[in-house]
Each structure stands twice: as C-alpha cells, then as structure tokens.
Amino acid sequence: PENRTVEFELDKLPYHEHGKPLSFLDIAMNFGIHLEHACGGNCACTTCHVVVKQGAEFLSEMEDDEADKLDMAADLQLGSRLGCQAHFVRDGEVVIEIPSWNRNYVSEGGGSINLGDAIPAAKR
C-alpha cells in the first residue's frame, strides 16, 4: 500500500541479518519499509509473503524449503515468494506487492481477525 520505490547498489547495502542477504526483507529493513517477519527471517513462517509482479529474472531460484513453506501461505499466487528468501542475484528492476493478510497472523501472535461469514456456523 505504500507504493514505494527504492534504488540501491547490490554491493553497497548493509546486511541486517534478517532473511538472506539482499532479500526483500533485508532491503525493506534498510529502507524503513514494514514487512512482517514473525520468525526473524528464518523461513519458518509465511508472514513475509510477497508477490513478485515484475522482474523475477533478477531474483534467486526458489529453494525447496521456501516452496514447502509457501504451500501454507494465504492468497498464494503465481509470483508468490517469501520476502526473507527471495533475493537479488543481479541488478534489475523488481516490482513486488505485499498481500494485506496471511493465515499465520493469528497463530503467530497477531491478534484476532474477523472473518465474518467466511467460516460457517457449527451445525447443531
């Protein structure tokens, strides 16, 4: 929702030790952009789920542990990646979207989500 653009040189960005170096999480932390990461960037949750809209060719290939974890992500899309795992491998323009919610929000201490009529009432 922020519609932010950041530019940086790959070899000049300091690493904040959250996620892989040059990951979306690492970049977000460098530029003060909020990206949830309940597990600290260790590929143990899906709170940093992002959707790559453009520029996937500039990113790392998805590894098995990321793919396995993404199977549990809400609103899984063709360009879905974990922000702590997907990282730049070469210079280029990448556009991502941060989904508005994910199913780990409550289970990882985020409070309650009102799903309204999404969950049917129990049968009596």
Going residue by residue through the chain (124 aa), what tens digit of pLDDT does each one get? 467 888 888 888 888 788 999 999 999 999 988 889 999 999 999 999 999 999 999 999 999 999 999 998 888 999 999 999 999 999 999 999 888 764 344 344 444 333 333 334 444 4
Q: How far is CA 118 from CA 47, 112, 113, in A?
A: 21, 14, 11
**Architecture of the structural domain at 15-105:** Roll (3.10)
Rounded to two decimals, what is the model's pTM?
A: 0.79
Domain ranges of the chain: 15-105
Q: Tell me which amino acid residue 25 is.
A: L
